[in-house]
Amino acid sequence: MAEGEQKEAEDRTEAPTPRRIEKAAEEGQVALSREAVGFVTLLAATLATSLALPALGAGMFRSMRALLEAGAGAEGFVLARALAASAALMLLPVLGATALAAILAGLAQTGLPRSTKPLRPSLARMNPVAAVKRILGPDGLAELARTLLKLGAVGFALWLAVDLSALPASLHRPIGALLGAAAGGAARLMTAALLAFAALAALDILWVRWRHLRQLRMSREDIRDELKETEGDPTLKARRRSIQEGRARRRMLSAVPKAAVVITNPTHYAVALQYEQGQAAAPRLVAKGVDAMAARIRAAAEEHGVPIVSNPTLARALYRLEPDTEIPPEHWQAVAEIIAYVWRLKDRVSEPAHG
């Protein structure tokens, strides 16, 4: 591995993001365990054979016996065709079940294809030099070790399943019993092979998924670049958010002159309520702010003669509401008392003017 590639691999310390995994799948990089596919296909072939052989095997044996008795000639040719048809009829369900199992086992691990890009021809994949490097490289040697381990495990399982004492004993059995003994031995061997393949498939699934996620690891710079690509530049995003917040503040300040009252904390919080009797079911919060924004709301209220009432508990509770939201019922009584108090003050101020 070159020095640059080694440094790049050391920088990739972060787990892959869902977007990284999705992009890899679109490029054909998926966690596919061939051992799992092999186990499922072997299991499907075994089940299909065990189901098809009793029903179709008898017909094939009858055709074979008739062919051997007929010998050469036109009749033998006809019987040979019948034997070939019987063999094909027995093999078709086995081959169909095997092919279907292989497809379903692959889809269960990788899902439906998301892109046709992996199916496009690539000169790089057909390069014999690159193929030799892959075979003789670390991945190729690891694959060879896995293959040898698999053969050793399956061979050991078959060795344990073989009954060496059955062969001498079968020499003393009648010919009719030999077929049953052979079938029982074959069943034991197939069961041992399936169990060995199942264990290998389970381990291979864990290994393949771990190696796949390890190969897709990202550096912190990769994650930042992905965030810029998916969500936009953080600087521009913060600027847009600042512009939106500025517009919201200006919109709220423009609503303060029409408010019925401004309730304060008295200095940290400020909320402006608008209410017109007979036109709305409940007062509506039209502006809110904390600290500097609260000071601007108070200044706008003083400038336009909007009454300011100090009620810290109510101000903090109403601040949780979103702008342009009606006051919830649990605050109606407290807000109604403040608005009624403000209206009484206005009436007292206007009475000397009328007098």
Per residue in 138-186, pLDDT (tens digit) is: 767 777 777 788 888 878 887 877 766 665 665 565 555 555 566 676 7
111 band by pLDDT with thresholds 50, 70 and 90 = confident
Neighbours of 218 (CB within 10 A): 18
Q: Output 302 or 150, whichever has higher pLDDT.
A: 302
Instruction: Please state, in angstroms and rounded to a whole number, the distance separating the CA atoms of residues 330 and 343.
Output: 22
pLDDT mean over 234-245:
77
317 band by pLDDT with thresholds 50, 70 and 90 = very high
pLDDT mean over 112-121:
64
The pTM score is 0.50
| Residues 253-301: tens digit of each pLDDT | 999 999 999 999 878 899 999 988 777 778 999 999 999 999 999 999 9
Domains of the chain plus CATH, in order, are 3-113+125-227 (no CATH), 237-354 (3.40.1690.10)
Phi, psi (deg, nearest 5) at residue 76: -65, -35
Percent of the chain scored above 70 by pLDDT? 67
Q: Checking phi first, is residue 332 left (phi over 0); if not, alpha (psi -120 to 50) or beta?
A: alpha
pLDDT for 1 beyond 50: no
Residue-level pLDDT at 78: 63
Beta strands 261-264 and 284-290, pairing class: unpaired
Surface-to-core class of residue 108, CB atoms within 10 Å of its CB (0-12 exposed, 13-18 middle, 19+ buried): exposed
Q: Output 122 or 209, whichever has higher pLDDT.
A: 209
Q: Which residues contact 228 (CB under 8 A, 6 or more apart)?
A: 234
Which range is least confidently modeled, 83-87, 172-176, 191-195, 211-215?
172-176
pLDDT for 230 beyond 70: no
pLDDT for 51 beyond 80: no
DSSP letters for 229-287: HHH--HHHHHHHHHHHHHHHHHHHHHHGGG-SEEEESSSSEEEEEE--TTT-SS-EEEE
Question: Do 338 and 311 meet the contact criterion of CB atoms below 8 Å apart?
Answer: yes
